[in-house]
A and B are shown apart, each in its own frame.
Chain A
Amino acid sequence: MSTDRTRGYRVFQGINAVILTGVVIVTLYPFVNIIARSFSEERYIVGGQVNLIPRGFNVATYKLVVSDPMFWTNYRNTVVYTVLATAIAMVLTTCYAYVLSKKHLRGRTFLIWVAVFTMIFSGGLIPNYVLINSLGLTNTIWSVVLPNAISVFNLLVMKTFFEGLPRDLEEAAAIDGLNTYGVLWRIVLPLSKAVIATMILFYAVSFWNSWFTAFLYLNEGDMFPVTIYLRNLIAGATGAEAAGAGIAEASAAAANIQAVTIMLTVLPILAVYPFVQRYFVSGVMLGAVKG
């Protein structure tokens, strides 16, 4: 599109700039506010005086949260769950996507439908809950890392990517004596670093952020991921307020701790975000080529 220099269009550009600035402010404001709160003294928060800049700058609450051994246990759990779940997810997804990308394979359509159908219809909360209980996975790490091991969306992205690889290369490798496993490991995977990195990011972020499976299946505090730690803080706050009385002190202290915990939980995401964001975008585009 070349630009028209009409007056109406310039007015539009002005309005557009205002709207988009508004979008940026609205998007970023909660972050800035939470940073300010996390570094503020409680009395300023209670007074409703903390906005964009910390008042009564201090790191006391950070020290408080960091000195809670449970916080660290849960934080470490999140790391462990994320790494293990991502590893399992990558192995399963890669294997299945590779198989599905072989157009000559008999039964391929059936295998694809097995996966895609689960996007349209799923068992639902209760049967899943019963299943995990029946398998005896409750309160084990497996209840967190297994039930969501394959994301069909990621699977289709990888399948599309594998389909785009040159077939001749694989055939040549097969003629040179590599079997299917060898072809996948030595030829296909090295060519797929970009998509593998993207998939790892997709999975890692979703496992890092997940809370509901852990909430359903884990009962012991020292097994919780940090999302549940934070959730319990929030629930505690609503609980206290819902009770009606004594809102002031109880929830204000909680508010300060909440702010700090939110900061510490979101930090890894914010730290890697600028570097990884574009991979996500390209991954989504790739997935959109063939839904």
Chain B
Amino acid sequence: MSATLDTAELAEAGPRQDRPRRARPGTWRYALRRDWQLYSLAVLPFAFFVVFRYVPMLGNVIAFRRYEPGGSLFGESWVGLRYVRMFLNDPSFWNVFTNTLILGGLTLLFCFPLPIVLALLLNEVRHRKLKRFLQSVSYLPHFLSVVIVAGLVMQLLAIDGPVNQIVKALGGEPAAFIQKPEWFRTIFVSSEVWQTVGWGTILYLAALTTIDDQLYEAARMDGAGRWRQIWHVTLPGIRPTAITLLILNIGTFMTIGFEKVLLLYNPLTYPTADVITTFLYRMGVESSNLSYAAAIGLFEALVGVVLIVSANLISRRAVGTSLW
């Protein structure tokens, strides 16, 4: 806040003491005198945002500067686009970039529509208690740490785990799924679905309850069957919710689930599992090429912003729903 802040004056002024002859309403001075206690409550949280959110944003300049461990937060000297050129010419970068797009795309493809389907199905359950039970069960995985989920995945897919028991029962050879690059995407996406689908239904179920019953009556009058009612009444009813969530999902497209990738992958599965964030984690934190990793991270964040802004723009133009 760049207000002209007269501390001595502020200290004098008691709460809610308006002195209009010295400060006119509508000026900063007036606002500060009247609400200084409120502003004082905002100081610590504001400092939190500045230090832990905005300083790192500025800290991205090390993508264009040479950073030395232990040196200045913002690097030592300008190197221009050196690190950007470095990653653009790095074949491993293009590999992780492709992996990110594929994993993100698959996750979006399954984790976005499935909650809608599940919500529609749950909505057809007439028995109240049963419905509540079903919801409770389906929300449960959402409350688990990603470490636990990774642990469960390892256990299920272990050589002696249930999945291999089924494989054996069907006459197949047990496989070490977790070490096969060709299985990684399936494993990742299905565990993501397992964990998020139930929770994802919450907002849709809420949206469904707000749809006016008269619309269904009217549709029935017009001779619409069950399916046509869903098509013409239910789906349009939850469309704003769906679009909002779609935009949000697109916004997190690039970083989605990277913690789980970090927990589940291993050098054998790098070809399909390694994503931008895990790559820059290894580059930056493990190998201390912090400037190089920051350049990649900045690129990743910019792609994310472009995605969310354009999704927002498209949806505002096309269907009139947008986040801002």
Contact yes or no, B37 A230, CB < 8 A = no
- Summarize B's interface: helix, strand, loop or mixed: helix
Contact yes or no, A120 B125, CB < 8 A = no
Q: How large is the interface on B (under 10, 10 to 19, 20 to 34, 35 or more residues)?
A: 35 or more
Which residues of chain B come closer than 8 Å to A233, judged between CB atoms? 151
- Summarize A's interface: helix, strand, loop or mixed: helix
Which residues of chain B come closer than 8 Å to A125, judged between CB atoms? 277, 280-281, 284-285, 293, 297
Which residues of chain A come closer than 8 Å to B179, judged between CB atoms? 238, 241-242
Contact yes or no, A106 B148, CB < 8 A = no
Q: Which of A121, A129, A179, A234 contacts B15 (CB 8 A)?
A: A179
B316 at the interface (CB under 8 A from A): no
Which residues of chain B come closer than 8 Å to A12, judged between CB atoms? 124, 226
A57 at the interface (CB under 8 A from B): no
Cα–Cα distance between A212 and B268 once the two chains are bound (Å): 22
Contact yes or no, B155 A265, CB < 8 A = no
Number of interface residues of A (CB under 8 A): 104
B137 at the interface (CB under 8 A from A): yes
Whole-angstrom distance between the Cβ of A111 and the nearest chain B Cβ? 6
Q: Knowing A127-B297, A130-B290, A180-B15 touch, does A118 contact B49 (C-beta < 8 A)?
A: yes
Contact yes or no, B160 A288, CB < 8 A = no
Whole-angstrom distance between the Cβ of B13 and the nearest chain A Cβ? 12
B313 at the interface (CB under 8 A from A): no
Cα–Cα distance between A26 and B151 once the two chains are bound (Å): 16
Contact yes or no, B52 A127, CB < 8 A = no
Q: Which of A106, A126, A291 contacts B284 (CB 8 A)?
A: A126
Instruction: Determine which residue in A6, A122, A130, A233 has the highest number of CB atoms from chain B within 10 A of its CB, and name it.
Output: A130
A16 at the interface (CB under 8 A from B): yes
Which of A62-70, A92-100, A191-199 participates in binding chain B?
A92-100
Which residues of chain B come closer than 8 Å to A174, judged between CB atoms? 15-16
A48 at the interface (CB under 8 A from B): yes
B202 at the interface (CB under 8 A from A): yes
Contact yes or no, A106 B35, CB < 8 A = yes
Cα–Cα distance between A23 and B145 once the two chains are bound (Å): 21
Contact yes or no, B42 A251, CB < 8 A = no
Which residues of chain A come closer than 8 Å to B300, judged between CB atoms? 124
Cα–Cα distance between A238 and B263 once the two chains are bound (Å): 10
Whole-angstrom distance between the Cβ of A12 and the nearest chain B Cβ? 7
Contact yes or no, A107 B56, CB < 8 A = no
User: Can you offer 23 A-B residue contacts whose CB atoms are under 8 A?
Assistant: A24-B137, A34-B152, A45-B160, A48-B174, A51-B165, A92-B44, A92-B45, A114-B46, A120-B308, A123-B60, A128-B59, A129-B284, A130-B290, A209-B146, A209-B148, A211-B146, A227-B145, A234-B147, A242-B266, A251-B158, A284-B202, A285-B203, A285-B206
Write the residues of chain A forming the contact surface with B, with a CB cutoff of 8 angstroms.
1, 3-4, 6, 8-9, 12-13, 16, 19-20, 23-24, 26-30, 33-34, 37, 45-48, 50-51, 91-93, 95-96, 98-99, 102, 105-107, 110-111, 114-115, 118, 120-131, 133-134, 146-147, 149-150, 174, 179-181, 184, 205, 208-212, 216, 227, 230-231, 233-235, 237-239, 241-242, 247, 251-252, 255, 258-259, 261-262, 265-266, 269, 273-274, 277, 280-281, 284-285, 288, 291
